[in-house]
A and B are shown apart, each in its own frame.
Chain A
Amino acid sequence: MEVVLALFVLMLSLVLAGVSFIAYKKSHLRPALYLLVAFLLLAIKKGVELLQLTQRIEKDVGLVIGGLEVIFLLLFVLALWRR
């Protein structure tokens, strides 16, 4: 069940990255670019978690996941920052 949920989050992140990409292509709005990178990072994070969940990675990836989470949130804040 955990793997199914992780796969779902991974797919949703990629869909959102795709939507952000179309939005950026149409508008060249910088926040859309931040969101695109943020959702791609989220997908990578979920991918790493999935690999660990299926025991394809045995190393401790806590730091990598934590780092990706921080960058994801920072990019999100940056995208929503009112200038």
Chain B
Amino acid sequence: MSSAPVRFGVVVFPGSNCDADAYHAVSTFPDAGVQYLWHKDTDLKDVQAVILPGGFSYGDYLRCGAIARFSPIMQSVIDFAEGGGLVMGICNGFQTLVEAGLLPGALIRNTGLKFVCRYVNLRVETTDTPFTGACEPGELLRIVVKHNDGNYTVDPETLAHMKADDQIVLRYADAAGERVEGANPNGALDDIAGVCNAARNVFGMMPHPENSVEAGLAGGADGRRLFQSLIDSVLRTAEVTS
């Protein structure tokens, strides 16, 4: 007996440009369904997981994610997250989650001062999240980053709390899984590529797993692990509650 497909929603802000890729990525999973959520709406259409996609919402003209955070849909996303709903922010979506206060820290200009599009190796630092549950601890995911402002930073006190609470989800590493000079594409503090909130239902990452779901393409398929985790997590929750 197969369960009902997991209902994903992909938010579309003006300037989002990975919304279609996130939509496409989800649709490559037979046990998932997906629809767009328009930034001017407030209805989350009963989705079980929300993706804030990459792009340049509002042109990134003020500060990445700073305007998107005030979209009507975001109040609904915040309410959804506070109620335990699963929210994943990718790149500009991560920046928006940080601006909205759903995740700690900030994303500032890359140390190289240039946009960087590059394959990176991501080390899975914790599998105790709904977003990495299908991964092996320490597993390496080869996924592309592409951003101007992916340099994660946070005050030392918060960082200590995040570490204590196991909120560092992904770190940049080399192909052997070592954190070495050159593996971190943007200067992020502590090589941080992705974090979750203390409640573990909100997750943000700079690299783009939605461009890494098909083995035949240049982006490879390592990103599937994250989407699969999310789907498994929702299905498990559904089993428990039914």
A binds B: no
- Give me the interface of B with A, judged by CB distance under 8 Å: none
- Give me the interface of A with B, judged by CB distance under 8 Å: none
